[in-house]
Chain A
Amino acid sequence: MHETAIAESLAGRVEAIARERGLKRVTAVGVRVGMLRAVVDSTLTAIYAELVRGTDLEDSRLEILPGRVRSRCPECGWETRSSRPVLSCARCGSGKMVVSGGRELLIEFLETEE
């Protein structure tokens, strides 16, 4: 359950960012989670909610944004995004795809009220 460790780091980071930026109430947290990380969204959300209960972040709802794997053919430029690497080009048949992304763990937005 790497979701536990990720949720703990996430709550800590959100708290620090909210403090740095003087945000009193965080209502939503947008986090990009690369699909290669094999994170179960509902597990991460549940652990996060459990962790922030009774803290200043109690009202923050987690919004998970999937980070798909990007596979690109350098020969013909064909590109695809999916949950896992695609290693052969569906257009020209080349087997030299360049794979990127899918490993992100980034806080992309916080929502607050004013």
Chain B
Amino acid sequence: MIKNAVRIKMKEEVLRSEKKIAAANRRRLRRAAVAGLNIIGSPGAGKTSLIEAVAGRIGKGVGLGVIEGDLASDLDLRRLNAIGVRALQINTGRGCHLSPAMVASALEEMPLEEIDLLLIENVGNLVCPANFDLGEDAKVAVCSVPEGDDKPAKYPLLFLEAAVAVLNKTDLIAACGFSRRRFYRELKSVNPELPVIEVSCRSGKGAVSWARWLRNRVKEKRI
């Protein structure tokens, strides 16, 4: 008997269950009036340093909570605990990004009623985390000067999805021969509207602006 191939057309979301879980996380954060930020950047760009910089500057009225995503180890968690920041570690093992399900189980364990600002440090990587919505209010793209001035052009998705870009390690601009003009040109060729905050966690320059940007996200969420 000869068999005929039959093509059945459809439009089915591959990430349907991920989207559902992300939507549930988003509802959960809204109910608890928590501003959730998904912080994405290359390994070593300074994601944890940026969270440390916020801890002392966010102000007493804002409860800070952190979810730390790492392949393995709890080194970043210990850094945050050492300065008194409430944080929870997720080890993704071989996973190159946090999944919405991982965040859902972290939210179960966190005292959300005491938290106003939830910073989620994603696994160090520019490509994979940009692909998965966790239910956050906004994504933060972290770049750092030693990585070079061409990152936005190479990894457009993150810079399209992000609500803000942080350019960290500005103290190294001269030493690295980093071209600000080229960086901004590449960024504008991907997302002309994206605001950029320049920071040096080393010197503290710009950290106040970064903390202010986050405080504004908290205010928006309280209304």
Asked whether any CB of chain A lies closer than 8 Å to the CB of B174, the reply is no
Query: In angstroms, how far is the closest chain B Cβ from the Cβ of A28?
Result: 8
Query: In angstroms, how far is the closest chain B Cβ from the Cβ of A61?
Result: 11
Bound complex: CA A32 to CA B96 (Å): 22
Q: Which of B12, B132, B155 contacts A17 (CB 8 A)?
A: B12
Smallest CB-CB separation from B128: which chain A residue?
A2
User: How many of chain B's residues touch chain A, expressed as a range?
Assistant: 20 to 34
User: For B11, B12, B95, which residue has the most chain A Cβ atoms within 10 angstroms?
Assistant: B12
Q: Which residues of B contact A10 (CB under 8 A)?
A: 14
Bound complex: CA A87 to CA B127 (Å): 22
Bound complex: CA A103 to CA B128 (Å): 13
Smallest CB-CB separation from A17: which chain B residue?
B12
* Contact A38:B127 (CB < 8 A) given known A9-B17, A9-B18, A113-B5: yes
Query: Does B8 lie within 8 Å of A107, measured CB to CB?
Result: no
How many A-B residue pairs lie within 8 Å, measured between CB atoms?
Answer: 96
Bound complex: CA A87 to CA B14 (Å): 29
Bound complex: CA A12 to CA B13 (Å): 11
Q: Mark B173-202, 1 if CB is under 8 A from A, else 0.
A: 000000000000000111110000000000
Query: Does A85 lie within 8 Å of B6, measured CB to CB?
Result: no
User: How many of chain A's residues touch chain B, expressed as a range?
Assistant: 35 or more
Q: Which of B4, B13, B155 contacts A105 (CB 8 A)?
A: B13
Query: Does B13 lie within 8 Å of A110, measured CB to CB?
Result: no
Q: Which of B14, B155, B156 contacts A106 (CB 8 A)?
A: B14
Asked whether any CB of chain B lies closer than 8 Å to the CB of A89, the reply is no
Q: Which residues of A contact B95 (CB under 8 A)?
A: 4-5
Query: Does B14 lie within 8 Å of A111, measured CB to CB?
Result: no
7 examples of A-B residue contacts, CB within 8 angstroms: A9-B14, A13-B12, A38-B157, A106-B12, A109-B9, A111-B7, A113-B5
